[in-house]
Structure 1
């Protein structure tokens, strides 16, 4: 067993679940409980946790499942979850990557500071992909939108700082996450034009236009069309 007494335990929620960089095995029910507490950050009552994690079970059975899960979590490293007056919370000192990602979003959209290189990795990552628990959907939707807005803002921040390489990386990450998001496509077209690559700008716009028409039957907005119209008008 790896010694965890001299360093903080880490819970990963981005691009998949893990505890202690995957060195600590956690049963599925315990993963769901840890994820719930990590995402909520604040204390959660036992009744709320049991109802959310075992929604189809009668109340007593759900409560019993929660007690069993808490007992299993206490075995490998000491309690990962604290209980106090019938509420649950993560043990102080447990680090969660999603907390850092949420703080990063706030920093990117509300300040002029250019984040460090790790920012792109955090903002590329989905929140617990392949998990489909009903209690998680709203958080996944919020994170998807928040990180796309942050990636677009980060791309602009890098561009203003003269770092066009990372500006492109951020814009491409947004486009790959949501190819039909026009604001992300527009950011990438603007970068190609700023870099003196008109042909690449036209290809980006044309690919987006074809995909938008094929999948949704829509046309690009006049705003993005104006960016490339002078180039398209010169096309034979």
Structure 2
């Protein structure tokens, strides 16, 4: 407790107004912005009408990397997982929308970013395969499926869903 008091005193004297001490509650001033909070807010705004940032700027923010890499405290792990889920949802939403809008290369980029976060996320794989097919790259789409199927079998001992298997089967069926 003495270390906390000393730290609070030093911080308050070196950076006046940074901390708000309200008896039992110690917090940051409202004037302080936390980049994690800003990232989560922007990720949740991604794709909404009237969003403050363009989708490209949001994509840049979403590619920020992990929170506090190398830290192994339970609270850090929980926050890392929470941020990862927020980022994953935003990448998937962007990939889906860009695919619908015909922005194929952007859809591929967003789907690949989602798979970097969660390599066994079937929806991200389906979006990536669909984007590759729309780009006319059937070979890459098939390689994406085969790599996913292999990883899924190795990691979890299961097969892809019927939907994804049918998507891959359609690639073979459309051979000329």
Choose which of 82, 91, 99 in structure 1 pairs with 2:20. 82
What is the CA-CA distance between 1:139 and the residue it aligns to?
2.1
Say which SS state the counterpart of residue 27 (structure 2) adopts: strand
1:197 corresponds to which of 114, 121, 137: 137
> Cα–Cα, structure 1 residues 230 and 163, in superposed 2: closer, same or farther, change >3 Å?
closer
Question: Runs (4+) of structure 1 moved beyond 4 Å?
Answer: 112-115
- Alignment correspondent of 1:121: 60
Q: Are 2:46 and 1:95 equivalent residues in the alignment? A: no
User: Number of residues paired by the alignment?
Assistant: 172
Q: 1:133-212, aligned counterparts within 5 Å?
A: 133-212=73-152
Confirm whether residue 219 of structure 1 aligns to residue 159 of structure 2. Answer: yes
The structural deviation recorded for 1:174 is 0.7
5+ residue gaps, structure 1, are: 1-62
User: Which secondary structure does the structure 2 equivalent of 1:95 belong to?
Assistant: coil
TM-score by length of 1: 0.65
Q: Which structure features the higher share of helix residues?
A: 2
- Which whole-Å CA distance do the structure 2 matches of 1:209 and 1:190 have between them? 16
Q: Which runs of 5+ in 2 are unaligned?
A: none
Distance 1:233 1:205, change over 3 A: same
Contact 2:46/2:58, CA 8 A, preserved across alignment:
no
Alpha carbons of 1:195 and 1:216: their partners in 2 closer, same or farther (altered >3 Å)? same
Query: Secondary structure of 2:26's partner?
Result: strand
- Say which structure, 1 or 2, has more relative contact order (CA 8 Å, 6+ apart): 1
CA drift of 1:145 comes to: 1.6
Two-structure CA RMSD over aligned residues (Å): 2.2
Offset at residue 66 of structure 1 (A): 1.4
| Alignment-derived partner of residue 55 in structure 1 | none
